[in-house]
Structure 1
Amino acid sequence: MSPDAVPRDRLRELLDAVLGEENTSLDAMAEAAYVSPFHFSRTLSSGAGEPPVSLRRRVMLERAAWRLGRGAGVTEVALEAGYDSTDGFARAFARAYGHPPSATSPGAVHRLPAPNGVHFHPPVNLWVTAREPSSPGHDVVQLQVHHDVADTAALLDLAVGLPDDVTAAPVRPGQVVLSWDGPEETVAEVLSAIVWTKEVWLASIDGADQPVRVTRDLVALRAHHAEVAARWLAMVRTTESDGTWGDRVIDALCDPPESFVLGGIVAHVLTYAAHRRLVVRAMLRDAGVETDSGDPLDWIARRSAE
């Protein structure tokens, strides 16, 4: 699998088969998915919690309601929804929405109750509502924080296996990301800065002394990152649960001391960590080392497939 490869999303493929313009029957859906009608129906019903024909009918009715709310004619919308007659469409629409198509008001809500959260999303997309809103990855802050930690760990794993002439060579002479962090001319120095930044801010939040920076020894840095990352994640979780993003930290490690908002600290760390991770990838590619893109969308897809 290439570094950027994302696991195949079979459920998405099955949904595409359900909603294909020409796939108006179970047989047509199954043929588009290259499986038997029995297997198609069983797999989709298990994965989506709704039989394929019912799912298609509901989503097409949602699209019809949206189109009617934007001024489309009943006959036109009925044909688009796959109905042979306006009467049949009107009966199905009235059963679903409690009023005839002609009574659809502009901008009316088009979503119907769904067991799986799969809905029509204008103009031509699907929307899947989360069944568990509090699950990891559904909160944007938690998503970014966890992705940053996981992506840094992945880069450290890659770097540990590379020779020193790749990780310790000054391939970007004079490179400085933030003046107070010093030069970041090597892959090891940039990775060290990602870990160091979190550690310094944690020391400020905890009222601890200035930590000692781990630089050239990537094996030690990888182990150190695991410890710092655990503390960083715990701090973010506590801040989130306590609702203290607006609290301020008086940073005595600065000279003179400065005041920083907790939410701003996390935003700062995420911004420069993301930049540095991309810088590391560019440096590795310049050295002929293949890397992935670091895209959080790919990371989410891989996690979902595990």
Structure 2
Amino acid sequence: MTELPRDRVRELLDAVLDDEASDRDDMARRVYISPFHFSRQFRLGTYESPVALRRRVILERAAWRLRRGDSVTDVALSEGYESVEGFSRAFSRAFGFPPSAAERTSTHWLPAPNGIHFHPPTSLWVDSAEAPRSSMDPTTQMVHHDIDDTRYLLELAGKVAVRDYDRPLLPRHVVLGWDGPEESIAAVLEHLIWSKEVWLASIDGADVPARGGRDIGALAARHETAAPRFISAVQRIAAEDRWGDVLIDALCDPPESFVLGSVISHVLTFSAYRRQVVRQMLRNVGVEADQGDPIMWLRTRHQPSHER
């Protein structure tokens, strides 16, 4: 029996989910490319960073085991966590409830930007309802381009000298009056991510989220948390045709009404502007960036792996 050739995304997934892989560099070595290109190729193929996907699938597997009756201690230590406390914190942040409540839930899946989930006992399942649509629907393309492009800019910002990252490069620059000045690379990137965080809270009916740090590591972590939630929210609105629904946003003072379609348009419009501003700031401090063209991004996504 002839085995079908495995595509590049499957090879990258294998590297990420290999129990022997200790970190991103180790994952990259298993597919013989640099860590930077490994992360880039993986995100292009799955819309998720390798570390984020590995962490999510491990937590899904942990939830499945807990639902079957395994103890929290056994699951925590065998899934690679150094302590039960650390596992409990990660699990609670991801699922919204502690490991002790897992057996009362109906699913072990977490929101995924690519439909890839843990499938017992040792497999993966790709949920077609969650997987990015292959059509050229502009909303889908704009949302995924925005997510990928923000990751790209965060990577480039990591190359900026410390003295340039948080200093005013565009004095008195304001995007939206209520957001205040955005004069530095750090400020614009933070508002880029904060916009999704606060609107997601409004859509979900949650309190104003805690505003995290804006160093590169903190922003990258915040983006990896908000990105799949934003994709899932847009997919849900589209699938249920709720673009015309009205959101009464109690986070505003006084409360305001917003049409859901206009909320998504608002986020994408100002995100696109901020991403171009960041590009110009990066160039001003000597870090080259591409043009951020969705046409070129789409071509890269569909380019054969051996040509990348």
Q: TM-score range by the shorter chain?
A: 0.5 to 0.7
1:250 to 248, 251, 257: 248
Counterpart for residue 163 of structure 1: 161
Offset, 1:213? 2.1
SS at structure 2 position matched to 1:145: helix
State the shift of 1:135 in Å: 4.0
Contact 1:148-1:274 at 8 Å conserved across structures = yes
Match of 1:236 in 2: 234
Corresponding residue of 1:292: 290
TM-score scaled by length of structure 1: 0.55
Q: Identify unmatched segments of 5+ residues in structure 2.
A: 1-131
Match of 1:193 among 184, 191, 194: 191
Q: TM-score, normalised by structure 2?
A: 0.55
Q: Is the 8 A contact 2:243 2:261 kept in 1?
A: yes
Q: Please name the residue that 1:274 is paired with.
A: 272
Indicate how the Cα distance of structure 1 residues 298 and 197 shifts in structure 2: closer, same or farther if over 3 A, else same: same
Partner Cα distance (1:196, 1:301) in 2 = 29
Distance of 2:295 and 2:164 partners within structure 1: 28
CA distance in 2, matches of 1:226, 1:174: 29
Q: 1:291 to 1:137 in 2, by over 3 A?
A: farther
Taking the aligned partners of 1:287 and 1:137, their CA distance within structure 2 comes to 38
Q: Secondary structure at the match of 2:244?
A: coil
1:143 and 2:145 equivalent? no
Partner SS, residue 162 of structure 1:
coil
Residues 65-94 of structure 1 deviation map (CA, whole Å, 9 limit, x = unaligned):
xxxxxxxxxxxxxxxxxxxxxxxxxxxxxx
1:150 deviates by 0.5
Q: CA deviation at 1:162?
A: 2.2
Counterparts of 1:76-95 in structure 2, within 5 Å, are none
SS at match of 1:260: strand
Tell me, in whole angstroms, the C-alpha distance in 1 between the residues paired with 2:166 and 2:298.
Answer: 31
Counterparts of 1:1-306 in structure 2, within 5 Å, are 135-136=133-134, 138-305=136-303, 306=305
Report the CA distance between 1:173 and its aligned residue. 1.5
CA shift at 1:280, angstroms?
0.3
Distance 2:184 2:135 in 1: 32
What is the DSSP-based 3-state SS (H/G/I as helix, E as strand, rest coil) of the residue aligned with 1:289? coil
Q: Count how many residue pairs are aligned between Structure 1 and Structure 2.
A: 173
Counterpart AA for 2:228: A
Query: CA separation in 2, counterparts of 1:272 and 1:160?
Result: 22
Amino acid at match of 1:170: P
**Alignment check: 8 A CA contact 2:172 2:183 kept:** yes
AA at the equivalent of 1:294: G
SS at match of 2:190: helix
Output the amino acid matched with 1:192: E
1:163-192 CA-to-partner distances (Å, cap 9, x unmatched) read: 222211111121110011111111011011
Give SS of 2:248's match.
Answer: strand
CA distance in 2, matches of 1:136, 1:175: 38
The alignment yields a C-alpha RMSD, in angstroms, of 1.3
**Bigger Rg, structure 1 or 2:** 1
Residue pair 2:165, 2:186 contacting (<8 A) in 1 also: yes
Q: Give secondary structure in 1 for the equivalent of 2:206.
A: coil
